[in-house]
Copies of this chain bind each other. A is one copy, B any other.
Amino acid sequence: MAPPPKYLTGDSAAINDFINRFDVFLFDCDGVLWSGDHVFEGAVETLELLRAKGKKTIFVTNNSTKSRPQYLEKLTKLGIPSSTDDIFGSSYSSAIYISRILKLQPPKNKAFVIGEAGIEKELASEGVPFIGATDPAFRRDITPEDWEGIANGSHLDPNVGVVLTGLDFHINYLKLAHAFHYLQQGAVFLSTNTDATFPASHSFFPGAGSVSSVPLVNMTGKKPISLGKPSQAMMDAIEGKFQLDRERTCMVGDRLDTDIKFGVEGKLGGTLAVLTGVSKKEDWEAEGAVAVPAFYVDNLGDLRAGAA
């Protein structure tokens, strides 16, 4: 059993000791830095404090609808200084996985994508050919010709070697039918992330896992490789890109089942939970908790006490 996490809020000495143990901080964003359009008090100053101490800060998000440049825009709009290089999203993670790990041989290296523009941009940045996604040809009702063409294969692209599913606000029967048939023909099954829901408009809405991944799992009996937290495929991709020392890296997040689990299973030197998001103290104190953080604070801004 994991030891109980150390509470840092209000304890300057413990905070300084905590900060000194790490060179790299991986940040979940929603629930940690902001909620909706509201940036938490002290969040920006905490990032600045860590950077002033020479720490690297990386934003790790399961949001697959935005590419890194699009996510940078969002951070900038919220007043959070960053650069594209500090952003690691599940679309980028997926693109890297396809181009650098799967390394499918052309011409059978095309991805059939269920998802939004963020995935397209990241696949293009890694030179991965793709179809589907935001193409209007797939944003429509299924027709009698489609039934025939999908069934007999004449509507299927013989060069599709991967099906990549993410959050898609334009999910439809036509896309699911295509993805199902590509998977039945042996395409590799990848998901940007498998979140059941995601926070929006101060509520929750259907997530990537629910709208595109789980339906195909149910149809095929196959499970996707997920390229988002808590999947270690994402951690491997982060480590590969930043050449980080896991022992000197800390994951900061609000969810035990994604963020903290991601850090614990990745054998990072530490994990920090904040209580401004989904998970609460009772969650890790409960028997059979999905993951227990090493440290916790009430708010990320509490780390400012380490400035002295």
* Chain A residues at the B interface, C-beta cutoff of 8 Å: 141-142, 147-148, 150-152, 168-173, 176-177, 180-181, 184, 196-197, 200-207, 209-211, 214-216, 218-219
Contact = CB atoms under 8 A, between A and B. Distances in A.
B142 A169 contact: yes
A215 B206 contact: yes
Contacts of A200: 147, 151
Given A169-B142, A196-B219, A197-B219, A150 B210 contact: no
Contact of A180 (B201, B206, B209): B206
A283 to B, nearest CB: 15
A98 B21 CA distance: 60
A177 B171 CA distance: 12
A271 B90 CA distance: 50
22 contacts: A141-B169, A142-B169, A147-B205, A150-B203, A150-B205, A151-B201, A151-B202, A152-B202, A168-B173, A170-B172, A173-B211, A176-B210, A177-B205, A177-B206, A180-B204, A180-B206, A196-B218, A197-B219, A207-B219, A210-B218, A214-B214, A215-B215
Given A171-B171, A180-B205, A180-B206, 4 more contacts: A147-B201, A151-B202, A210-B218, A214-B218
A171 B173 contact: yes
Given A172-B170, A218-B196, A148 B201 contact: yes
Nearest to A194: B218
Contact of A218 (B151, B184, B209): B209
Contacts of A151: 200-203, 205
A180 to B, nearest CB: 6
A206 B150 CA distance: 12
Contacts of A170: 141, 172-173
Contacts of A169: 141-142, 173
A114 to B, nearest CB: 12
A181 B205 CA distance: 8
Contacts of A215: 206, 210-211, 214-215
A202 B176 CA distance: 18
B211 A176 contact: yes
A148 B197 CA distance: 16
B147 A206 contact: no
A114 B139 CA distance: 19
A201 B214 CA distance: 24
Contacts of A150: 201, 203, 205
A255 to B, nearest CB: 16
Nearest to A214: B218
A218 B197 CA distance: 9
A263 B186 CA distance: 35
